[in-house]
Structure 1
Amino acid sequence: MGERLNWAGNYRYGSSQLLEPANLEEVRDIVMSSERIRTLGSRHSFNGIADTTGIQLSLRKMDRVLELDREKQTVTVEGGIRYGELGHYLNNQGYALHNLASLPHISVAGAVATATHGSGDQNAGLAGAVHSIELVKADGEVTVLTRGADTDFEGAVVGLGGLGVVAKLKLDVVPAFSIRQTVYDHLPLTALDAGGFNEIMSSAYSVSLFTNWEDSVFNQVWVKRKLMEGEDPSEAASTDFFGAASAPAKRHPVPGQSEINCSEQLGVPGPWHERLPHFRMDFTPSAGNELQSEYFVPRRNAFEALRALEGLRERIAPLLFVSEVRSIAADHFWMSPCYQQDSVGLHFTWKPDWESVRQLLPLIEQALAPFEARPHWAKLFAMEPQKVQSLYARLSDFRQLLLKYDPAGKFRNAFLDTYL
């Protein structure tokens, strides 16, 4: 039936069958004939959010760009297209998306449904670009939900796979732009105190802080600056970043991994789709054999949350490949961790020792509890379902949406039953 593991190999799917339709009519036929079904994206989830006891439906073969509307500045795509492929197409046409995640390998529909994000003070998550979605409901009916026109839109975009199959999406595009990426070494945690965090994170289009938590220092800072009109692309990037020195050679955020996997650095300007992701489309992203967790805290509490994590340094460091800190602008999607609040993502890429990580996660969640940290839906967490539910003001509205679009629970699974 095809691959039964997620990309990192830590989760084995329990579905009875994996089907890969080639067009909308095949999707409708599969949905109507199924009792239980879930859409499988690019398998970059670390838990059971995409699993089912019934049929998994992959949109891998539905990966086309359908329309580029230059007048309205939108692009319509099939749900299975990956961001790396879409980025290449858009850039060749003179357009861009407002942001990209660190991995260009992920599918558009899967990333949007789970509130996956990039980085940048002014940049909402990837769902922020969605203008409309085309949804195949449980009865096979196709409905289109559009921003500003449909009251269900803000509940359905980050739908966690529970409303139906998102076969198409229309996304806002912007004029193509260039980015220069510079990595800086050794930024002390204390540099973020007394307003330093805001100054650092707002200093460029996108800023990522990486630490292995062995010391009170960020080992690397990845700074992605947008080239402004008239700016000389040959001008050298600054060698100093709030006391951190520019790296003399290309870096990989995970110690011991080859930097060839990573997007271009050293201040060399390049197109947006080749600089905003941390990793290159044609190479294995991150560490590969890994586990991941991520928690979102309100932007105003970011430094205090980092201080809370610092108290667990000796517990975190031995299990960690790397931790990344990013800022994300607020959005209006009911089930997004960034719903109506500017947020900071505290990300952990763990070594593949699940039993030890499983014991550590409650300690991290306890340390972050004063900040009402919300876990990433598609990653590993230990939070009690009642706690997760308490963090979402529109949860009752979303439950009603699930009943409206899928009254018999065809698209529900153990994950949604547990946490929603």
Structure 2
Amino acid sequence: MKKNPVQTPFLVRMKNKCHWEDSKTLRFRPRTGAPLIARSAVSVGPMAGHLDDAGQRRPNNLIGRLLRHFKVLSLGIVMVACHQLDTPIDQGAPDIKSSQSEALVQPIRALYLTSYGNIWHNYQTQQDTLRRGISKYINIEFSMVGKDPDDTLKFMQEEHFGAGYDVIIYNMCFPSDMDVHRIDNIMSQTRDLGIPAVLVHCAAHSFRGTSQHGTPNAHNLEEAHRQWSQDRPDAHFPYWWHFTGIDTTGHDWPRSVHAERMDSTHPITKWLPETIVSWKDELYQNLAVRDGVVPLYQVYSQQSKKNHIVAWTHEVGAGQVFATTLGHDENTLELSSFQQLIANGIGYITGKIDADGFTKPGYTGTVNVDNYQGTTTCNPGDVIDASNIAEIQKAIKDANRFDRSLKVVSLKKSNSNSGFICPKQGGILLNLWQMDRVLDLDEDAMTVTVEPGIRAKDLSAYLHEQGYAIRTMPDYTAVSIAGGTATAAHHSSLQIPGSMADMVVAMKIVDGQGQLNTFEGRDVAKAAAHMGMLGVVVEITLTIEPQFKLQYGFKKGRDDNLENQIEAMVREHPYARVMWFAGNGRYVMDYYDRVANDTPGESQHNLWTSSGSVFRIVGDIPYTILNRAPLRAQCDSALIRSRIWLPPFNAKNSDSSRPVGWSHQMLASDCSAGRCPWDNPKVQSRTMEAAFPLRRLKEWMTDVRAIIAENRACFPILGIYLRFSKASDRWMGFNYGEDVVAFEIHVPKVANETYYERSAAVYDEIQQMTLKKYGGRPHWGKNSTPVFVGLGPEQYPQWNAFMDLKRTMDPNGLFDNKIWKQMTGSARVEPYPACVLSRDCVCSQDSHCGDGFSCVEGGHYKAARVCR
């Protein structure tokens, strides 16, 4: 017997309904040769006029009249297109041919040097503002050094520190530094190696002791001259302003500035406004200007009663420099005109814009797309919202035509915390959030067929109304069904295979050539857990069962002999997991048992909301305290958690310590905006997770005890969170082939990544040991990139067969991306100073850890490399 799911109101999808203001799939794209115009949901091509600081283009009168006619015509086209959303392939999706259309274009590789901790500038905020702002106007990716200023100073002493980059951006402030050999080495990157340079604001005030113009430390300069002539008698003295182009050592008091354009024909300024107005900035006064400097903008000083150049470009030896002394703080940095000025400067000195200020093919800006926590950011050139298979096939066809990477998400903000969701820089991000319907409920076969974008919570609500349930789900139910199955998101049970991928009995995937493939029967095991590497999932059929009730319980105590008891404890219950507070010698096991459906109780899981949950205790202790205070603070927090365990439930019509409720409301939950743990900036965490064979759990726990014996650590959020699963036949599932246990550590995160979390070295040692010694399988939707590097047949017996399947379904590598290439060895992880702080590498030398830290072997597991 089949039921028509359309009878359920929330599943109704209105067809052929389109609004101009939110029609992201029907938008205009800048063509090849467009000026640097910010990427946005609705983009228009090259047009005369200027971009104001609200991000709007201001046309002149003639162009304005033409644009009004153009808009009317465009609106008509859009309204016609609104009636073609369900048309066959090649008619239902937007044309994605844009300025990214030239094959094999690589984004500009920028080395961004800064100095966190500077007392005059908030460089932590600035780097985020500038990186996001610049990337709207030009296709660029950044490697950043400078979370500790000493990292930057040491790095700039390395002989060829700029090698391999297309441009070096200096947004730093070292006014007192007088190491002339370092200064000369900085200059040599451009002068001798030809690497273009961008200087922002205080970079022009750095090393100002080398100025000969009114410098207060003439004696020090004379001594530097003398020493230089001894060390380098045949080399010119490295006056910093010879590199910047303009000497400046002082500035006006902060006030509003009106920067006037000096050259309306220069490629950098041609499409910029006549005046850039900032409410407040520092005007750096010009003391001397080098021959060859091309002035671009100037500001009149109320103090000196003179005009001073504030943006310019010039040649330095084999390379070019673009500089601006604007940009003291967010008042200027957040201006779209200023961000475009920097982007144009980068494009000009790297040769990515032409003489008319038009971008070359492939270098228009990208879109910043964050996941739900803001912990993963993708930079596609285009975001396309598809609502049917025809639109998906059209997007894939065009992506192949123009050699562009394509990746897929199925929610407005993806719930994944790994880079598998991101296309290559400047590629296409296809979002299927509109495809969120239940397509079929087959009560005879006990299956439900859905579109990819439906969330686990919404599917469960629909099934509950029909008297059914899915048997497992992750702890967080706002995940989409497509995302949960692709990454094998899971609960915890040794009585059933525990992942969402294990419930899949059929699926339809549009492959890398636009062909629709159906997997069913035994073939489903090949593709159910696929990480987005096989194609675009458009339909998923899951097994269901009659709705059932669960009763929650827990037990806690000392962890003496836990490794000999834990498996038997977990097997007693349909669902069970263990929070092992190993640093405190304690554990909490919580579990669920089935009860009769007429048992009183409508309780609801509420772990992810602050009220009445475990996070309320943690949330009252700012993570900065947990990470900055002595280890005891972290251990006391964990001890409180393990001793005073509060069931994460809103109990209704049942005992609060033994709540009863329907399965979908007991096993997991989500949280509304503003009530999620990650909405509190003081309660941010990062997650590491990997699974390994259950048969080796006792050995693993013994090793973990030894690691903590060498360097005590505590686990203040959920302890070492142990979840279990019965064996599965899903090729790339975490539980393939045998029963497994997955360990997870929720790490109280340092939001600004300027220092290491308390006990981070121990957490890293445990993770590296799990991966290397125990053949760990990392969770596909969590973990940082280095965790996936080196995976292969040792962890996944069907690895080679899956690779063959991928080559068949995606022969052109359309779905490949950076993390995939690094994982499979076709690209390497590029380390940089303090890259471990950003979780971008595993250290192999001290500089990877940052200033003041060393790369050392693990305390117990000697093959580990951690920062202490």
> TM-score higher than 0.5 here?
yes
Q: Would the alpha carbon gap of residues 272 and 263 (structure 1) be closer, same or farther in structure 2, given more than 3 Å must change? A: farther
Deviation at 1:320, TM superposition (A): 5.8
Paired with 1:263 and 1:377, the residues of 2 have a C-alpha distance of 31
Instruction: List per-residue Cα deviations over 1:151-175 (Å, max 9, x = no partner).
Output: xx32211111011000110000011
1:375 is aligned, of 766, 771, 778, to 778
Instruction: Indicate if the aligned counterparts of 1:103 and 1:285 stay in contact, CA closer than 8 A.
Output: no
Deviation at 1:8, TM superposition (A): 2.2
* 2:685 match: 290
Q: Structure 1: any 5+ residue segments left out of the alignment?
A: 235-248
Please state if 1:252 is matched with 2:614: yes
Q: Structure 2: any 5+ residue segments left out of the alignment?
A: 1-40, 42-366, 602-610, 621-645, 825-868
Instruction: Indicate if the aligned counterparts of 1:8 and 1:291 stay in contact, CA closer than 8 A.
Output: no
Please state if 1:21 is matched with 2:21: no
| Matched letter for residue 217 of structure 1 | R
Q: Would the alpha carbon gap of residues 268 and 121 (structure 1) be closer, same or farther in structure 2, given more than 3 Å must change? A: same
Paired with 2:678 and 2:370, the residues of 1 have a C-alpha distance of 17
Deviation at 1:282, TM superposition (A): 4.0
Q: Would the alpha carbon gap of residues 26 and 127 (structure 1) be closer, same or farther in structure 2, given more than 3 Å must change? A: same
Q: Would the alpha carbon gap of residues 380 and 68 (structure 1) be closer, same or farther in structure 2, given more than 3 Å must change? A: same
Paired with 2:500 and 2:421, the residues of 1 have a C-alpha distance of 19
* 1:31 match: 396
Tell me which of the two structures has the higher relative contact order, counting C-alpha pairs closer than 8 angstroms and 6 or more residues apart. 1
Please state if 1:323 is matched with 2:688: no
Instruction: Indicate if the aligned counterparts of 1:262 and 1:280 stay in contact, CA closer than 8 A.
Output: no
* 1:188 match: 558
Deviation at 1:376, TM superposition (A): 1.2
| Matched letter for residue 339 of structure 1 | Y
| Matched letter for residue 405 of structure 2 | R
Q: Helix, strand or coil: the match of 1:371?
A: coil
Instruction: Indicate if the aligned counterparts of 1:323 and 1:347 stay in contact, CA closer than 8 A.
Output: yes
Bigger strand share: 1
Instruction: Indicate if the aligned counterparts of 1:362 and 1:383 stay in contact, CA closer than 8 A.
Output: no
RMSD (CA atoms) = 2.7
Deviation at 1:17, TM superposition (A): 2.2
Paired with 2:377 and 2:731, the residues of 1 have a C-alpha distance of 29
Q: Would the alpha carbon gap of residues 19 and 322 (structure 1) be closer, same or farther in structure 2, given more than 3 Å must change? A: farther
* 1:12 match: 377
Aligned length: 398
1:157 is aligned, of 528, 531, 536, to 528
Instruction: Indicate if the aligned counterparts of 1:20 and 1:57 stay in contact, CA closer than 8 A.
Output: yes
| Matched letter for residue 455 of structure 2 | R
Paired with 1:226 and 1:159, the residues of 2 have a C-alpha distance of 32
Instruction: Indicate if the aligned counterparts of 2:612 and 2:650 stay in contact, CA closer than 8 A.
Output: no
Q: Helix, strand or coil: the match of 1:311?
A: helix
Instruction: List per-residue Cα deviations over 1:346-401 (Å, max 9, x = no partner).
Output: 01111223663675554113432432222112221544723555312111111111
Q: Would the alpha carbon gap of residues 413 and 262 (structure 1) be closer, same or farther in structure 2, given more than 3 Å must change? A: farther
Q: Helix, strand or coil: the match of 1:161?
A: coil
Q: Would the alpha carbon gap of residues 315 and 286 (structure 1) be closer, same or farther in structure 2, given more than 3 Å must change? A: farther
Which one is further off, 205-214 or 87-96? 205-214
Paired with 1:323 and 1:339, the residues of 2 have a C-alpha distance of 22
User: Looking at CA atoms only, which structure, 1 or 2, has the larger radius of gyration?
Assistant: 2
Which one is further off, 159-168 or 364-373? 364-373
Paired with 1:226 and 1:20, the residues of 2 have a C-alpha distance of 41
Which one is further off, 114-123 or 375-384? 375-384
Paired with 2:561 and 2:678, the residues of 1 have a C-alpha distance of 28
| Matched letter for residue 542 of structure 2 | L
1:140 is aligned, of 503, 514, 517, to 514
Q: Would the alpha carbon gap of residues 227 and 221 (structure 1) be closer, same or farther in structure 2, given more than 3 Å must change? A: same
Deviation at 1:296, TM superposition (A): 0.5
Paired with 1:316 and 1:57, the residues of 2 have a C-alpha distance of 42
* 2:575 match: 206
Paired with 2:816 and 2:557, the residues of 1 have a C-alpha distance of 44
| Matched letter for residue 57 of structure 1 | L
Paired with 1:67 and 1:406, the residues of 2 have a C-alpha distance of 29
Instruction: List per-residue Cα deviations over 1:14-46 (Å, max 9, x = no partner).
Output: 222222212222222222212311012442222
Deviation at 1:183, TM superposition (A): 3.8
Please state if 1:349 is matched with 2:746: yes
Deviation at 1:116, TM superposition (A): 1.2
| TM-score, with length taken from structure 1 | 0.86
Paired with 2:677 and 2:562, the residues of 1 have a C-alpha distance of 26
Instruction: Indicate if the aligned counterparts of 1:309 and 1:367 stay in contact, CA closer than 8 A.
Output: no
2:549 is aligned, of 178, 181, 186, to 178
Q: Helix, strand or coil: the match of 2:423?
A: coil
Instruction: Indicate if the aligned counterparts of 1:206 and 1:224 stay in contact, CA closer than 8 A.
Output: yes
Instruction: Indicate if the aligned counterparts of 1:132 and 1:147 stay in contact, CA closer than 8 A.
Output: yes
Paired with 2:716 and 2:377, the residues of 1 have a C-alpha distance of 22
Q: Would the alpha carbon gap of residues 18 and 178 (structure 1) be closer, same or farther in structure 2, given more than 3 Å must change? A: same
Paired with 2:806 and 2:821, the residues of 1 have a C-alpha distance of 11
| TM-score, with length taken from structure 2 | 0.43
| Matched letter for residue 400 of structure 1 | D
Deviation at 1:319, TM superposition (A): 7.9
Give percent identity, aligned residues only: 22
* 2:355 match: none
Map residues 355-394 of structure 1 onto 2, 5 A cutoff: 356=756, 360=762, 362-368=764-770, 369-381=772-784, 382-383=786-787, 385-388=789-792, 390-394=794-798
| Matched letter for residue 777 of structure 2 | R
Q: Would the alpha carbon gap of residues 290 and 41 (structure 1) be closer, same or farther in structure 2, given more than 3 Å must change? A: farther
Instruction: Indicate if the aligned counterparts of 2:508 and 2:539 stay in contact, CA closer than 8 A.
Output: yes
Paired with 1:44 and 1:255, the residues of 2 have a C-alpha distance of 24
Q: Helix, strand or coil: the match of 1:116?
A: coil
Q: Would the alpha carbon gap of residues 121 and 140 (structure 1) be closer, same or farther in structure 2, given more than 3 Å must change? A: same
Deviation at 1:62, TM superposition (A): 0.9
